[in-house]
Structure 1
């Protein structure tokens, strides 16, 4: 637990220091000129995002958690988002979701499958978005030297989806190969069979979730699209509020690349990596001071606010259970 707290503190320091170093003293002037009404509107957009995700969770559960109200689902989403932002690599998010759903009688395999389908819809949205950005780059004849910003994430997303499809299609073969590797690593037979049993339960729950009615899966995907379109409009509005202009497609791409780079920092919320990458991409377009101010406001809305608003909800709903789960993992 101490490591998580220290990582969070280090991440917050890095997230604040990078924009301040890049923007210098002029960043204060940029921040003062930003409209308060626009900031409040963007915070309201985040509440809309949480509600969209809460409705998506309810549809994914399909009654497996009993009568889950929108308010209860909203609190689960906020607690999970806080855990994602507060732990390295977002590892606390799935644990929190599993713990909260377990209280409602949802088995761990089912909760893991729901989380996996949720992430799968995100991948499909980002792939669709990148295809749209690529079409925009070609039609508008934007600097093609920046094509790697579109090509690299697209390649990674396509590779992830292909690997997932191959894994599900050749599940038995994958289990056989995995079993042999674990045997060579001298993993006990009982442990190997236990892992195989849990993976089988997860696979069956995943297939069960993907077999939901097509209209329901389509509605879940539409909610996913609405969530990310609203959230990824924040940086565009921030730049507009500072009196600058960038096409929405480029702010979408900047956020995608920045958040992916943030995962490489292994700090909570991608702190440090996200700020450094987004500042580097925005500076040539709107200048260092405006870029630094944009990044600081954007991260406040999409990162600091998640921590501030989600912390009390997390403590009330999942705090004790999360600490017990982390303690068990450390004892193993």
Structure 2
């Protein structure tokens, strides 16, 4: 009886194990099926997400393109408005410059035809009076001084006229061969009175090896060269202390150089702008035009001017001219 019961138990256990194995297999199949379905769902979801992102990106890109186009149009309109403002500003500037040019032309006409004509007439009258017999020595001296003043004023007028033309780019430089020594001696003679008033010593101009210069031919515009040398010599005279010496020297090489050396320092504050317009220092009636016009006229005839302030208590100005083409 006991053995039969044990056998029955084994059969039941075996049936239960079989059923459990069957259920386990079914569960595994179900899990596999669910896993497959889950993977399919994930794949579909991934595809949908990708499509959604692609659509979103395309939409954003389209919106970005539209924004950029709108921004470009806005910038172009803004740039166009700025250009219109610049055109309007330039138009006003041109109108102003045209009016100023007309005013300059009117001034030039007045100075050239009225003032200069009157000065030339006075100089001619002075020459006629000096040629008259019976003039007293005092009368001759007065006429000569008056004529010298007239020549000086004529020089200033000519400087103004030349300067105006050069600044407007309307000056045709006529170059010729000139003996610079003669020009320097003429300028010294014109300024003899102020040289004597300050008791300045001005020895004859020197050339090579310190010898007295007789000739130094340069290729220049004579009227401009007169103005350049007069302005710079007058500067040297005014800057020199009483009783000092002014030296003029000539040098011949690839160019022609005329140096004016005087005692008296140029203030450090204006050395870097010495040749700029309206720069002056320590002169009651100084205009700051002399060195500016000299530089402008030197460059107009392919020359130059150099300033040397290296010597304590002194100044040396060197004017550079072209040498004559045949030399």
Tell me the TM-score normalised to structure 1 length: 0.24
> Which has the higher relative contact order, 1 or 2, with Cα contacts under 8 A spaced 6 or more apart?
1
Kindly name which structure, 1 or 2, has the bigger radius of gyration based on alpha carbons: 2
- Identify the structure with the greater strand proportion: 2
Task: Give the helix-richer structure, 1 or 2.
Answer: 1
